[in-house]
Structure 1
Amino acid sequence: MTKFNVDVAHSSLGFEVKHMMISKVKGGFDTFTADIDMNPEDLTSASIKFDIDVNSINSNNADRDNHLKSADFFDAEQFPKMTFVATDIKSEGAGEYKLTGDFTVKGVTKPVTFDVEYGGKGTNPWGVEVVAFEATGKINRKEFGLTWNAALETGGVLVGEDIKIKIELELNPAQ
């Protein structure tokens, strides 16, 4: 197995949630690190751990981001990071995997499964090997203690419960 580093300039960790039950708000976390030891062509024995800086949340709206960092949501002062540690990786064939791990948000740890797709490998203009992966999943925010909401006059709520997560990674072998 080989240790890989995240190429942060070409990677993203994003989310999407329903707003007012009719539209979607998208955002992401600008700062995250990963410890990844793997064979990129067979993830089944990989060791994967992510640390996500909650204060790096970015939904393109400073007021919303500050609210998300507050005790109403992530409580970034008390819980400055989220973590994901892989516990099981199953091949689904042809570069596709089910990646299950312990996801910790706001002090609550629950198992979460992501669909992972191997994007392939190449060599960048500086002669460095690059591999790419995309992972998608979904969590219910209430299961992690993110319960704040507001009722709408027309019925329903301001913030949806299901959060879609999309991770796009470019990785380079550690030097």
Structure 2
Amino acid sequence: MAHFTVDMAHSEIGFSVRHMKISKVKGTFGSYTAKIEAPTIQELHASKIEIEIDVASISTRDLARDQHLISADFFDADRFPKIYFTKTDLIPSDEELYTLTGDLTIKNVTKSVTFDVLYKEKKQTEWNTETHVFTCSTVINRKDFGLTYNALIEANGTIIDENIQITVLVALNSY
């Protein structure tokens, strides 16, 4: 099995959610680890993928909001400091498109989620190694994972939408 490392400088785990029916709040998780093993990059269907995200590394570029998000109202980072993803299946549609299914665990609640994956490109680095770039996206319902905090607004709705768009850009280096 080949081992792949995530190029942290060129990778990102991000999310967005509709806020107050007006705009979207976007954020990222700045600290995470990934264990990715596969026979070759062309044989990702036979891979092992495990990701561990540090909840307290969340950033929406608003410190007060970030502190609220790691509080017991949302992620409860003191009790549940990590988010986990473990691949259960990866099916190639063609040479560039995949369907990635795995178990996502947030606040000790595990649900199966499916990502659409696009293999964007292969680049040769100046250090004579190959980097493979992928984008992955899915939508989850935050309430399915116990993220139920909300408040009503005068415009007959809630402040925070239930659906969360997750977008991952990952650059993998083989070693």
- Relative to the length of structure 2, the TM-score reads 0.96
Once the two structures are superposed, residues 35-87 of structure 1 have per-residue CA deviations (whole angstroms, 9 ceiling, x without a partner) of 00122223211111100000000000000000000000000010000000000
Residue of structure 2 in register with 1:51 after alignment = 52
Unaligned runs of 5+ in 1: none
For residues 4 and 43 of structure 1, what CA distance do their matches in structure 2 show?
Answer: 11
For residues 43 and 87 of structure 2, what CA distance do their matches in structure 1 show?
Answer: 15
Tell me if 1:160 matches 2:154: no
Q: Which amino acid aligns with 1:18?
A: R
Residue of structure 1 in register with 2:34 after alignment = 34
Tell me if 1:120 matches 2:125: no
Unaligned runs of 5+ in 2: none
Tell me if 1:140 matches 2:135: no
Residue of structure 2 in register with 1:21 after alignment = 21
Moved over 3 A (4+): none
Once the two structures are superposed, residues 78-110 of structure 1 have per-residue CA deviations (whole angstroms, 9 ceiling, x without a partner) of 000000000011111132111000000011000
Secondary structure of 1:93's aligned partner = coil
Residue of structure 1 in register with 2:12 after alignment = 12
Q: Which amino acid aligns with 2:64?
A: D
- Calculate percent identity across the aligned residue pairs: 48
Whether the 8 Å contact between 1:140 and 1:161 is mirrored in structure 2 is yes
- Relative to the length of structure 1, the TM-score reads 0.96
For residues 20 and 57 of structure 1, what CA distance do their matches in structure 2 show?
Answer: 20
Residue of structure 1 in register with 2:110 after alignment = 109
Q: Which amino acid aligns with 2:67?
A: N
Structure 1 residue 22 displacement after superposition: 2.1
